[in-house]
Amino acid sequence: MNETIPQLSSYDEPSLDAAFATLAAEVHTESSAPHDAEAFRLRWLGRKQGRLKLISDAWLKSAPAEARKPLGIRFNQLKQQIEAALADASASPSASAAKAGIDITLPGTVRSPGVEHPLVKTINEIVAVFHHLGYSTALGPQVESDFYNFEALNFPPNHPARDTQDTLVVAGQNDRPQRDRLLMRTHTSPVQIRTMIAQAPPVRIVVPGKVHRNDAADATHSPVFHQVEGLCVDTNITFSDLKGTLDHAMKALFGSAVKTRFFPSFFPFTEPSADVQISCIFCAGKGCRKCKQSGWIELLGCGMVDPAVFASVTAERRKINPADDAYNPERITGFAFGMGVERIAMIQHGISDIGHFYSGDLRFLEQFS
């Protein structure tokens, strides 16, 4: 603060210009070098000891009357230059960072980029196989009505097939008709119905999604899990199309050496129905612990769409267009399939406990990055 006050030898215009140019240059130099903005403000604009105040006091006191006005104008300009320099300084990021106590010269925090969860990865792989065959993705709600989850899929009320798909129901709906009561969907199959009501054949969709069942959690079961559903409906769709499509899909997912075989099974919404097994990818079919010495691993359910399903769809479509005949089973056939994503991911990666998928344990998840 004990700056010397420059002296003025003369008050003519050129001398004033030269003196103020020197001051302006000082302001410029001080404000463009790294500096503490508050100290700079005090040094120039401090009310008692600021340079502007000291210099103007000194120069105005000894100024002849006619020099006061040009001096005043120049002091005003100088003040504006100082204020502009201050405004620039506080707008600069390094200055505001310094004020906030941030040292911008330190190296930044390294954030690891996120990666797909292994289940998402497997879903995307399955879906991609079918996208290449011309299927598109369809989605549906997890809170579903009894009609879409069961009835339209040919599980009548009280049918024993419902027992295998016990689930959580939404409370307080006993006064609604059964078909409208809400529950957590037990499979992705209701999206078959929603899609067919909304669109006429040809239909080729895959439906990834979360499903819910009253199953106790153990190493291979979880009350919430994931499925990918498939539906193909058109003229002339046969069981050999189903076999060819799924055989191709299994080879695409597990490698071209994999074999498939189809066993008779039962699902209310397909007739005939089948379970699909693949040759064990761990022992190439020789028999090991993973395949319980059988050489085969059961992977999914499938079948030809039951005409009763087309009948439910037609009844709904006729509420909008009474003449609708798009899903006449004399002309239209189809196949459907459904697979569990966790099971496929566990086989792909040799994971023995389904709980790892939901644990959020980075030591598990980082292995898929």
Closest CB 194 distance from ligand DAH, rounded Å: 13
Closest CB 93 distance from ligand DAH, rounded Å: 56
Closest CB 298 distance from ligand DAH, rounded Å: 12
The nearer residue to ligand DAH, 151 or 229, going by C-beta atoms, is: 229
Question: Among the candidate windows 81-89, 139-147, 297-305, 360-368, which touches ligand DAH by CB under 6 A?
Answer: 297-305
The nearer residue to ligand DAH, 81 or 142, going by C-beta atoms, is: 142
Q: Among candidates 337, 341, 149, 137, which has minimal Cα distance to 226?
A: 341
- Residue list 326-365, contact with ligand DAH (CB under 6 A): 336-338
- Residue list 299-318, contact with ligand DAH (CB under 6 A): 301-303
Closest CB 368 distance from ligand DAH, rounded Å: 25
- Residue list 46-65, contact with ligand DAH (CB under 6 A): none
Between CA 251 and CA 139 the distance in angstroms is 25
Closest CB 293 distance from ligand DAH, rounded Å: 25
Q: Is 270 an interacting residue with respect to ligand DAH (CB under 6 A)?
A: yes
Closest CB 113 distance from ligand DAH, rounded Å: 35
The nearer residue to ligand DAH, 78 or 305, going by C-beta atoms, is: 305
The nearer residue to ligand DAH, 51 or 187, going by C-beta atoms, is: 187
Between CA 11 and CA 59 the distance in angstroms is 9
Q: Among candidates 87, 54, 86, 60, which has minimal Cα distance to 73?
A: 60
Question: Among the candidate windows 24-32, 172-180, 298-306, 326-334, which touches ligand DAH by CB under 6 A?
Answer: 298-306
- Residue list 165-224, contact with ligand DAH (CB under 6 A): 187, 189
Closest CB 336 distance from ligand DAH, rounded Å: 3
The nearer residue to ligand DAH, 185 or 317, going by C-beta atoms, is: 185
- Is residue 324 packed enough to be buried (19+ CB in 10 Å), middle (13-18) or exposed (0-12)? middle
Per the document, the length of the chain is: 369
The nearer residue to ligand DAH, 285 or 338, going by C-beta atoms, is: 338
The residue nearest ligand DAH at its CB is: 338
The nearer residue to ligand DAH, 44 or 296, going by C-beta atoms, is: 296
The reply to whether omega before 202 is within 30° of 0 (cis) is yes
Between CA 369 and CA 360 the distance in angstroms is 14
The nearer residue to ligand DAH, 50 or 190, going by C-beta atoms, is: 190
Closest CB 121 distance from ligand DAH, rounded Å: 22
- Residue list 231-260, contact with ligand DAH (CB under 6 A): none
Closest CB 267 distance from ligand DAH, rounded Å: 4
Between CA 227 and CA 360 the distance in angstroms is 20
Distances (CA, A) of 77 to 51, 59, 204, 348: 14, 15, 77, 76
The nearer residue to ligand DAH, 173 or 199, going by C-beta atoms, is: 199
Q: Which residues bind ligand DAH (CB under 6 A)?
A: 187, 189, 229, 267, 270, 301-303, 336-338
